[in-house]
A and B are shown apart, each in its own frame.
Chain A
Amino acid sequence: MGIERQLRDSLRRSAGSLGEPSLRWEAVETRPQSAARSWVRVSIAVVVAFSIAIASFVILRDAFSRGPSPATVAPTPRPTDTSVHVPFENLRNGHLYQAGGQAQPLVGELSGGLMGWVSPVGVDSPDGTKVAYNAWTAVAATGSANSIAGTPSIRVIDTTTSSDTLFEEGAFSLAWRRDGIIAYFRGRTKTYTGVSPYQGDIVVRAPGGAETTWSAQSDRYIVAAWAGKTLLAYRELEGGHELLAFDGPGQERSLGTNSTLITVSPDGTMALVFDGGAYPPTVRLVDIASGKDLGSADLLSVGVDGVDSIQFLGYGGDWVGEYAVAESDVGLVRLHIVGVHVSVSDVMAFKRSAFPIQPHEPHFLPGSDSKVYAWAPMDSGNVRTYRYLICNFATTSCDVGEVDTNDTMFAEVHNPSRPLSGHG
């Protein structure tokens, strides 16, 4: 039995010497086809080399064209001012950075892993005075070497007093309604371990502190957004998820299996939902009250030069007037919604040499339905950096800046609930 034991010991040692992969979620999440990773590495190398040559701040122009069959045009980076801060509220470097550039340190360690890219890491209150964020406190893992363990928590920063207080321990993902009511997921235990399902309930807490449990039974939920007084959340399934609408305690409806909320209409009565499990991939306009489909658009029917088609629309979009914007596997997509008719209006199809991982969480700049901001991770070996973008669908141009962070985490602060003001 000697050689078997030698081999076993050797394999254990050798496996350990391999360490951990630098492979990140976005590399398997954002590419619908099995393109070679080596191609991505070469792209990253090219981008990094180019970025060094032109300094840390660039302007990309003519990165895309408009129309029903938009072309993908190679971006032309140009150096420009390096003094501009990230021009939207964000969490990075252990701080909350407001749009004006003011920074406030975070007490908790920022975390987004449990939300699975369907709910924001940082959510601002409807009155703009507070920011709730998801934090994580690691605890020693037991059992499998691959297991993780820690306590997720929701913390709230009051930007008027600079306080950072614990909202709830053993909780993650939240939606903040315009009347101050917060819905969130609370685990049955405070500690999350990767080796067993983290079950819990959806809890709705009024500003005065009164709580109601809205989920009929404990399960794995992720809270996403309010649409009026209906709460949109996900139930995690084995290898997938289900988009749910809660009209009150125990009043649960399904809006689709493997459907992802892109954005809620400004008045909170409709939602744009992407169906990733369906073929062809489709974006649906859903009536929140009835759950019925009002309209839909087949994404495969949209031709994008240089790219086969749009295969994926992601969470974290925005909707202003007749336009909505969403991230996709090819770049930024602007949708046009007229009545109950939804169609793809514009596509900013960035070349992967410019953005190996397509920009995330696009939102319209205040007062505009054509200018958007977004951010994109850039990987080089084990080093991750971030870019922010200000893009204009009307002029087909983007300003791109490098985020000054060496942190592994960058998160935009936004509140996807609608409406955020007014009565009713």
Chain B
Amino acid sequence: MFRLAFERHRVALFRLAGLLSGDRVDAEDIVQDAFLRAGPKLGGIPEEEQLPYLRTVCLNVWRSRTRRLAVMRRHASKRAHEMVMDPSLEERDEMWQALLRLPPRQRACLVLRFYEDLPERQTAEVLGCSVGTVKSQTSRGLAKLRGEFGDGD
């Protein structure tokens, strides 16, 4: 049932959305919108495919919100940016902060590859792009992080 899918996946989707947006409130909005959009279609989707489907919807919701926020920032500059910052997360992990400064597509590739542990092919399916794009975006994202934090070890 739709409710069961909601109870099962809401936390996982919230964390995915939170990692992408860097904002708890935004993440809740994203997950809520994703369930509202996905709800009518979940009936025809096998149980094991519901999470991948919901993940894709979440990514789409996040990307459209990111575009909208970018427009807002252009028009309202600092004020709009302040609106979307979650003060409770100000002391967040430095690596995550650096990740949030990456362009959205690089950020999405890194979160899907290194948090969700999706293979390149599945990452490409979720993002609606080619495997080559996933490879290049992941590589560029990692290069930027490497430039900031070194290569560890």
Interface residues of A (CB under 8 A from B): 2-8, 10-15, 17-23, 25, 27-29, 31, 33-34, 36-38, 113, 116-117, 145-146, 148, 194, 197, 236-241, 258, 277
Contacts and interface: CB of A to CB of B under 8 A. Distances in A.
Interface stretch (B72-80, B90-98, B124-132): B90-98
A22 B12 CA distance: 13
Interface of B: 1-12, 14-16, 18-19, 24-25, 27-29, 31-33, 35-37, 39, 41-47, 50, 89, 92-96, 99, 110-111, 114-115, 142, 145-146, 149-153
B145 A3 contact: yes
Contacts of A3: 142, 145-146, 149-152
B57 to A, nearest CB: 11
Contacts of A239: 1-2, 5, 41-45, 47, 50
A146 B12 contact: yes
A19 B3 CA distance: 21
B142 A28 contact: no
Nearest to B23: A18
Nearest to A19: B24
Nearest to A16: B15
Given A5-B152, A13-B93, A28-B35, A37 B28 contact: yes
Contact of A17 (B31, B36, B44, B92): B92
A113 B35 CA distance: 18
B3 A25 contact: yes
Nearest to B32: A37
Given A3-B152, A6-B149, A236-B1, A21 B27 contact: yes
3 tightest Cβ-Cβ pairs between the two chains A and B:
A2-B152, A239-B42, A10-B95
Contacts of A240: 1-2, 42-43
Nearest to B12: A146
A34 B37 contact: yes
Contacts of B31: 21, 23
A236 B152 contact: no
A376 B115 CA distance: 38
Given A28-B36, A116-B4, A146-B11, A36 B29 contact: yes
A381 B146 CA distance: 38
Contact of A18 (B10, B14, B142, B150): B14
Contacts of B152: 2-3, 5-6
B10 A23 contact: yes
A7 B18 contact: no
Q: Which of B7, B15, B25, B46 has the most CB of A within 10 A?
A: B15
B110 A7 contact: yes
B29 A37 contact: yes
Contacts of A29: 2-3
A25 B151 CA distance: 43
Given A2-B153, A14-B92, A197-B47, 8 more contacts: A3-B149, A3-B150, A3-B152, A4-B114, A17-B93, A28-B6, A28-B32, A31-B36
5 contacts: A2-B150, A3-B151, A14-B96, A18-B89, A21-B14
A308 to B, nearest CB: 15
A15 B142 contact: no
A304 to B, nearest CB: 20
B99 A18 contact: no
Contacts of A21: 10-11, 14, 24, 27-28, 31
A297 B99 CA distance: 53
A10 B43 contact: no
